[in-house]
Copies of this chain bind each other. A is one copy, B any other.
Amino acid sequence: MNHFNFKILRKDKNTQARAGQILSPHGEVNTPAFMPVGTQAAVKTLSSEDLKEVGAEMILGNAYHLYLRPGDKLIYKAGGLHKFINWKRPILSDSGGYQIFSLNPLAKVKEEGVRFQSHLDGSYHFFTPEKVIEIQHFLGADIIMCLDECVPYPSTYEFAKRSVDFTQRWAIKCTEEHQKNDFGEKFGYPQALFAIVQGSTYPDLRERAAKSLVKLDFSGYAIGGLSVGEPKNTTFELTELVNQILPEDKLRYLMGVGTPVDIIEAVGRGVDMFDCVLPTRNARNGCVFTRFGKLPLRNSEFISDFSPIDPKCGCATCKNYTRAYLRHLINSQEITGLRLASIHSLHFYQSLMEDIRKAIMEGVFEKWKKKFLKEYGIFEEETSEEKRIENHFHK
């Protein structure tokens, strides 16, 4: 088993973009990387074989969800999360900070940790920073996350400041707890611990958070609490600000982001890792991503469209099925339709990351970006695809 390592292979000259490679106990991950979200020990609608086929190199699990069901001890008994779900490649486990607060509006935060009720059965639980690390030691993911307090948007300065301070002191406790399992006694390999930079939309708090966490020397740094409703330019300004503080040789992970355009914008600002439910959630609503923009498969224009989602796409769905058939499946509430749409959209995301990496390695990231955005239907002055009119291959 390998130790954890990250090396930058190439930096873009005109932007902050970088292409690199993570070496983890479960193999390599090329960056910038997108991790499909397997909240409950499964990426919705897909098997591990499907995930391999769409080209996913690393997936995400969630400590909050897995602690509640089926339980971290059970997963440990199964031989760890990798064995439990039969996924041999790297996994990152999120601490669940975001879930505690988003699923438990009444969660009580104090110095020692956070008290919350299970969204499943209302039972009470108390997460300390130490407990969250212990859970993640039982899960055995390659990358684990510190407990953070994720504040909603908008939040007052005072509230956000208090939360940054909690998160900072919790990060110290997480480091200490993690050192107890530093050499991977549980599974025979070390796990890499990442800190999470919070600070809501306040630049000085983000700066303060980043600076104090960097002193603790983590294997990587996440930027949390963004993409929660704030304007897109705020997201990117704060991402850029934080990345200027974070050490260049460490991984940078922008949590919960985003659309293809968001990812491209964030890569240009120095981000290496992403996760988002968007491709799979949209797919389950019948809307898939393509290089020409989003394609809402339910639309009547596809009733007798016997071409694949994208004739140039190499995914299992595009090789075998037509838009008309997918539309029929989705409109008939056939589960198969949700899976086939998810396969396409995750394959699209993985191909997008591959294209981004290739462009950076070849030193043409900006040129590639311009071309991609044009084909995707985004005007240059825009930073968000939300502004633009849906484009269904009908330009």
Contact = CB atoms under 8 A, between A and B. Distances in A.
A209 interface: no
Interface residues of A, number: 39
Interface in A288-329: 303-304, 306, 316, 320-322, 324-325, 327-329
B74 A324 contact: yes
B78 A336 contact: no
Given A85-B325, A86-B320, A338 B336 contact: no
Contacts of A46: 336
A106 interface: no
Given A42-B329, A74-B304, A324-B70, A338 B339 contact: no
A44 interface: yes
Given A332-B40, A335-B339, A339-B339, A84 B45 contact: no
A83 to B, nearest CB: 8
A49 interface: yes
B40 A325 contact: no
B41 A340 contact: no
A320 B47 contact: yes
In the complex, which of the residues A42, A45, A338 has the most CB atoms of chain B within 10 Å of its own CB atom?
A42
B44 A334 contact: yes
Interface string A70-93: 100010011100001110000000
14 contacts: A40-B328, A41-B325, A42-B336, A44-B335, A46-B336, A47-B336, A47-B340, A70-B303, A74-B304, A77-B304, A77-B306, A78-B322, A78-B325, A335-B339
Given A41-B325, A70-B327, A335-B335, 18 more contacts: A42-B329, A42-B332, A42-B334, A44-B335, A44-B336, A45-B336, A46-B336, A49-B316, A69-B332, A70-B328, A70-B331, A77-B304, A78-B304, A78-B306, A78-B322, A84-B325, A85-B325, A86-B325
